[in-house]
Structures are given as C-alpha cells and as structure tokens.
Amino acid sequence: MASHGLRAALAARFPAHVTMKLLRGLPRLRSRPAYAALRAAFVGGCDRAGFRLTHYAVLNDHLHFLVEAADRTTLSRGLQGLAIRIAKALNRLWRRRGTVFADRYHDRILKSPREVRNALRYVLGNGKKHAAAGREVKITQAIDTYTSAPWFDGFREAVTVRGIEAMPRPVTAARTWMLTIGWRRLGLLSVHDLPATG
C-alpha cells in the first residue's frame, strides 16, 4: 500500500520513479490487447503540460514509470491524467466500469546519476528479473518488449525490434541532465543486466 504521508518536494532537475498497482482480480496487463491499450494511453499522455513519461515497464499487475515534471503539482496532475487514460482504455478493453488502480501511486525522486542509472536498469529489466524468478512472466527476446526498451538508446549492444517504426512512440525524450547525460557517465546498460533488487 502506498504511503499517505506528505510527499517530498520535486525539483525540475530530478526525475522520479513511479509505481502504480492494479486492483486485485483484474486481468493481467502482459497480454497483447492490454498492452496495445496501454501504449495508446501512453502516447496520449506522455508529454503534457510539463509532464513527461520517458520510460516504462508493464508487469502483470503493476506499472513502473520514469518521469520528469516541472514540480510536484505538475507531476501529480500528469500522473492523474495518465491514470485516467489508462483506466478508460483498460475498462473499455475489459468491458467493465470502475476503479482500476488499487491505491495512489508511489514515487521516488532520483537525485543522483547513479540513482537514475539504477532506476533505468530496474525499470527496463524488472520483467526479466520476474521471469528469471519464475514469476509468471515470459521473455523470449534480448529485451523485454513490454517496456520502453525498444525505444531506448542507452544499451551497449545494438537492439533491433521489427515493426517498431510503424508504432506511435509511447514515450517522449527526456530533458533533464540526469536522464540525458548524467547516468551515461557511469556506463551504458547491457541487455543482459538484471536489477540488483526488487
């Protein structure tokens, strides 16, 4: 359950790692129809009024995002708008009404290049870690295509995903120094990396 305490202030130079959990009992998100609905929601909400969705991972019952925002209010409004788009898309797909997310989102402000690099590795590799642990996730490629990894340019290895050029881009380019330059000074990621924790 997400904390209901006062959230930490957010400066525009710091990205944030956000987690949103689904209600129990809903269908899994890692299906082609659900992922198509999610990507459409991401396309519509990834760059709005100072809020930017730059990276994501779709797990069976939760979502991870790396986002940028001008301040805490912009972050909250951007995530609220994105959550509404996601809920509408999934409810339409599942032919249901009502709440989709279990609680308010959890966020962690990333204040150093190392924290950003670790968060990138965590988000892009989380599904692979679940798969390695036998947690009802299957990944048959070098990268997890239920993440923004196909659009990520920070891997040491060359990555090609067929058909990617025909898809609308579901994330927007980062603008903070941390997510564009800072983390890269510690070394690019490998497609073989797994998160250290989580």
Give the total number of structural domains in the chain. 1
Confidence class of residue 113 from pLDDT cuts 50, 70 and 90? very high
Q: Is the pLDDT of residue 46 over 80?
A: yes
Is pLDDT at 4 greater than 60 in this prediction?
Answer: no
Could you tell me the CATH number of the domain that includes residue 74?
Answer: 3.30.70.1290
Query: Is 10 domain-assigned?
Result: no
| pLDDT computed for residue 23 by the predictor | 95
Residue 6 lies in a domain: no
Residue with more model confidence, 134 or 109: 109
- For residue 117 the two structure tokens come to 């690099």
Answer yes or no: is 4 within a domain.
no
- d(CA 178, CA 37) in angstroms, rounded, equals 30
pLDDT given for residue 95 in this prediction: 96
0.95 surpassed by pTM = no
Whether 180 and 117 have beta carbons less than 8 Å apart is answered as no
Q: Is 131 inside any structural domain?
A: yes
Task: Give the residue numbers spanning the domain of 164.
Answer: 16-186
